[in-house]
Structure 1
Amino acid sequence: MEQQSEFVTKLMSWLNQARDIAEGWLLSPAAWSQFALLALAVFGARYATRRITPLAAKLLDPGEKDSFLATARRFAARFLPLMMPLLAYGFTAAGEEVTRSLFGSGDVIALGKRVFFFLAARLFVQQVLRDPFLKLLGKYVLVPVAALYAVGLLDDISLRLEETIIALGNIRFSVMALIRGVIAGGLLFWLGSWSNRQSADYIKKQEELRPATRELAVKATEVAIFGAAFLLLMSIMGIDLTAVALLGGALGVGIGLGLQQIAANFVSGIILLIEGQTTVGDYVELDGGEKGTIVKMTARACVLETFDGKWIVVPNEHFVTTRVVNYSDQGSANRYEALFSVGYDTDINRVPEVIERAVRALDFVLVAPDGPDCELRGFGESSVDFAVEYWVNGIDDGKNKYGSVVLFAIWNALKAEGIAMPYPHRVVELKGAMPKGNV
Structure 2
Amino acid sequence: MDLGISDRVRPLRDAVRQMVREEIMPLDVEYHHEVGKHPDGRFAFTDRQNEIREGLKAKARERGLWNFWLTDSERGYGLSTVEYAYLAEEMGWCTLAAEVFNCSAPDTGNMEVLERYGAQEHKDEWLGDLLEGKIRSAFLMTEPDVASSDATNLEFSAVKDGDEWVFNGEKYWSSGAGDPRCAVYILMARTAPRDGDVPRHSQHSMFAIPANLPGVTVLRAMEVFGNDDAPHGHMHIRFENVRVPASALLLGEGRGFEVSQGRLGPGRIHHCMRSVGQAERALELMCKRSVSRTAFGRPLAKLGANYDIIAECRIKIEQSRLLCLKAAWMMDDCIAKGGDLRPAQPWISQIKVAAPNMALHVIDEAMQMHGGVGVSQDTPLAAMYAGMRTLRFADGPDAVHRMQVARKELRGYTNQSVK
- Same-fold status (TM-score > 0.5): no
Highest CA radius of gyration, 1 or 2?
Answer: 1
Question: Normalising by the residue count of structure 1, what TM-score does the alignment of the two structures yield?
Answer: 0.20
Question: Normalising by the residue count of structure 2, what TM-score does the alignment of the two structures yield?
Answer: 0.21
Structure with greater contact order relative to length (CA < 8 Å, sep ≥ 6): 2
